[in-house]
A and B are shown apart, each in its own frame.
Chain A
Amino acid sequence: MKTVSVQDAVAMIPDGATLMIGGFMAVGTPERLMDELVRQDKRNLTVIANDTAKPGLGIGKLVDAGLVSRTIASHIGLNPETQRQMIAGKMAVDLVPQGTLVERVRAGGCGLGGVLTPTGVGTLVEEGKQKIEVDGKSYLLETALHADFALIHAFLADYSGNLSYVLTARNFNPVMAMAASTTIVTVDHIVPVGLIAPDHVVTPAPLVDFLVTKG
């Protein structure tokens, strides 16, 4: 784990990058990284996230600034700007059932090619996918997702990079922290090693490439 300023963290991200971004309606989204992506005007991004929050908040800031060319998400209903850009053909949107989305990310981080899920069988979601029968029940093969960068927010990081999360701000964060080539983390508090008890570490330090410093 290396520490990095928010400016240098975002400078590593090229235009056209694929980003996994933690958070659920911006709760648990690394807000400082969103602001800096906008300031550095990183364009043509592919965003993999549960949702696009709402205008002016979380991932919504990237959408407002026109930085996102493709979104893979489970829900965009609370962000009219995402819907407007999708209808105008400015942004491609792949809608994925929420449980399938998180399992595709998990598979990507855990070395699996994909998962078999009953969700979506017989609906629009099954179009173009392999249907596989196991013990007489039908499942869809949903393939793994990977990203260039995972942008994660946690509650605590210790000096070595161990992470713990708080309440419903955990959501997609620990799963995404495993599924990208480079994992960048912002936190509410950086604390001495030992303050997060081993049993309370949710994301172990070796998964964290860059911890964004305060300031």
Chain B
Amino acid sequence: MDAQTIIAKRIARELQSGMLVNLGIGIPTLVANYLPDGLNVFFQSENGLIGTGQMAEEGMEQPFLTDAGGRPVTALPGASTFDSAMSFGLIRGGHVDMTVLGGLQVDAKGHLANWMIPGKMVPGMGGAMDLVTGARRVIVAMQHTAKGKPKILEKCTLPLTSIRPVDLVVTDMAVIAFPNGRATLMETAPGVSVTDVIANSEAELVVPNSVPEMKV
């Protein structure tokens, strides 16, 4: 199983029936592919859609039905559309139960940086700052390291997306949560040891006596 699949499958286990969920671009989008059978989840696209379905089949694309990445998608029965003010009212107003976003860095207190690298990459924050500030539960989906360098840091060096800490970080090596405001190792990926995770993290992780293996 490749890194992205491990991350997406593990996050899919966090979905519960009836949730309104916003998935970011990249690995987060893959989470929808592993929705457990029988679970009824509403996916929001922040460009104005609840009930986002799979990508449209070739030749069946509707130019006015896209996701937040501009890709042609489908809408499921019961879908609804609305303007951007309503869409971000849903996000900031605490109506979105869970969001999954990519990350560049997460620090020991759960702060996320994912919108710019000064002097190198300035794409803009899009909806990320609103999502991290307003969604009820924030999950970060990212590789544990970038080019061998840790992304779980004692303190983020890149500009923060929000001062609101995230709830869960799922990487190809570990699941990390932030009880009492400290990065805590909750699970390790199959074949990864606690020592491996610690060696690949800069932040000092709280390690409980027993760390179960990630179920994917």
Contacts and interface: CB of A to CB of B under 8 A. Distances in A.
B83 A95 contact: no
Contact residue range for chain A? 35 or more
B47 A95 contact: no
Most buried by A among B48, B75, B91, B127: B48
Given A106-B85, A170-B81, A97 B130 contact: yes
A122 B163 contact: yes
A98 B162 contact: no
Interface in A168-215: 168-175, 202
Contacts of A155: 64
A172 B46 CA distance: 11
Contact residue range for chain B? 35 or more
A109 to B, nearest CB: 10
B134 interface: yes
Given A122-B160, A168-B64, A24 B124 contact: no
A25 B160 contact: no
B133 to A, nearest CB: 5
Interface stretch (A1-9, A10-18, A73-81): A73-81
Contacts, number: 136
A99 interface: yes
Contacts of A83: 122-123
Contacts of A26: 70
A171 B64 CA distance: 11
Contact of B62 (A75, A76, A165, A167): A167
Nearest to B160: A123
11 contacts: A75-B126, A77-B124, A97-B126, A99-B89, A103-B88, A118-B134, A123-B162, A155-B64, A170-B81, A170-B82, A175-B83
Interface of B: 45-49, 62-66, 68-70, 75, 81-85, 88-89, 91-92, 121-130, 133-134, 159-163
Interface of A: 24-28, 50-51, 73-78, 83, 86, 95, 97-100, 102-103, 106, 117-125, 155, 165-175, 202
List the 3 shortest-distance A-B pairs measured between CB atoms, nearest first.
Answer: A77-B123, A99-B88, A25-B70
